[in-house]
Amino acid sequence: MSSGPKPGNFAFLEEPTAQPLDATRHGEATKEIEGFLRSRIVGQDAAVDAVLEIYQIFLVGMSAPDRPIGNLLFLGPTGSGKTYVIEVLAEALFGNPHAFIKVDCAEFQEHHEIAKLIGSPPGYIGHMQTQPILTQEALTRWHTDKLKLTLLLFDEVEKASESLWQLMLGILDKGSLTLGDNTHVDFSKCVIFMTSNVGAPEMSRLAEGGLGFAVQAPIEDVNLDEKITRTAMEAARRKFSPEFMNRLDKVVVFKTLRPEQLEQILELELAKVQRRIAGAVGPNHFTFRCTPEIKQWLLREGTDPKYGARHLKRVIEKNIVYGLANLVATGQVNGGDCVSIGIKADGGLTFAKIAATASEEPAAARSAP
């Protein structure tokens, strides 16, 4: 009786001279993008991996023809960083976090509102005044000689009207769209992202810290991410039709972020403020540092059970950036200074000038004689 492989299995005969290959390695261009993404995106490795996989296939010219480069659905609670991933990718590719087209699906819940996307047919009142959003010129706005790629986001896709659904299905499947004036638009150079909050209430109940961010989870559930993924996928299958789900290349469920990951996000946001100071003041700029107490206060004030860490930037702007701007405007800080920011028992913030360490001194100050 034959001991060969059963039907449906694959057998590979090892040649004596066969050279092992590593099909998991990324090219240098992809590794550069990967480093940028992972340095700024915290706790969402699955989303980064999905983006890198599609980008690598695109770079070598192996994307499927006659359709978008990739169709990705991002699921997860409000404030978990779904749109942020696209902003970071845009910055990595084009040097601008706003270098993508965003369609807010909540704005297209009525049939006639589709005209804002594709324009009105000839003969309709206001035809010439209705400039469609999804034109070929709009899609190629951020193209360069080296990179002809477009990032297109349909935000909160679960709120789309039936007319928008039909429009999207054609784009996802054939990579094409006909505008109101019969102009053809090609989406074959697009990576299409869709975000959705379906299942958010159920995910909130699973994550004791709230939507998107487990700020205070007294009992750590080692299976929490698995439960949230299952909940999100079940909600998506209930909401979206099979023909829509079958057009997706990747479905990514964003994880609940832990306290230590929230701390990393805070550090990234504070580093952005430091870069803004350098850009505004120049090479001989000042630096600042936050005490552990003020960092914990910022996390408490900037994370919310309903909106995750969405308010963190706002809290930093209101309390840190505004205070530092006042110090600059009143001449209380100069190049080479270091400002320590703390908090008093009554909740008021303190700003004090302290001696800067070597690592905190601006480059110009360190090199000055």
Buried b / exposed e along 212-245 (16+ C-beta atoms within 10 A):
bbbbebeeeeeebbeebbebbbebbeeebeeebe
Distance set, CA 138 to CA 132, 149, 157, 186, 187 (Å) = 9, 12, 20, 11, 11
pLDDT in tens, 76-101: 887 789 999 999 999 999 999 999 99
The whole-number pLDDT of residue 358 equals: 54
Place 168 in a pLDDT band, splitting at 50, 70 and 90.
very high
3-state secondary structure (DSSP) of residue 218: coil
pLDDT in tens, 295-310: 999 999 997 756 667 7
Query: What is the side-by-side order of every strand in the sheet holding 287-290?
Result: 287-290, 338-343, 349-354
Bigger pLDDT: 232 or 222?
232
Q: Specify which residues 257 forms β-bridges with.
A: 213
Percentage of residues in the chain with pLDDT exceeding 90?
61
- CA distance linking residue 288 with residue 278, whole number of Å: 11
The whole-number pLDDT of residue 206 equals: 77
Tell me phi and psi for residue 222, to 5 degrees.
-65, -20
Crossing angle (nearest 10°) for helices 259-281 and 322-329: 20
Q: Which of 215, 333, 212, 224 is nearest to 280 (CA)?
A: 333
pLDDT higher than 70, residue 363: no
The whole-number pLDDT of residue 122 equals: 56
The whole-number pLDDT of residue 357 equals: 67
H/E run at residue 315: helix 312-316
Distance of CA 24 to the CA centre of its chain: 23
Q: Which of 248, 238, 343, 333 is nearest to 301 (CA)?
A: 343
Lowest mean pLDDT among 1-10, 15-24, 66-75, 278-287: 1-10
Place 110 in a pLDDT band, splitting at 50, 70 and 90.
confident
The whole-number pLDDT of residue 193 equals: 98
The whole-number pLDDT of residue 369 equals: 36
pLDDT higher than 60, residue 278: yes
The whole-number pLDDT of residue 148 equals: 96
Place 211 in a pLDDT band, splitting at 50, 70 and 90.
very low
Bigger pLDDT: 227 or 53?
53
Q: Which of 20, 6, 76 is nearest to 47 (CA)?
A: 76
Cβ neighbours around 73 below 10 Å, total: 26
Stretch 343-348: mean pLDDT: 90
Residue 257 burial (CB < 10 Å; 0-12/13-18/19+)?
buried
Place 281 in a pLDDT band, splitting at 50, 70 and 90.
confident
Percentage of residues in the chain with pLDDT exceeding 70?
83
- CA distance linking residue 34 with residue 48, whole number of Å: 8
The whole-number pLDDT of residue 307 equals: 67
Q: Which domains does the chain have, with CATH numbers?
A: 28-257 (3.40.50.300), 260-367 (1.10.8.60)
- Mean residue pLDDT across the chain: 86
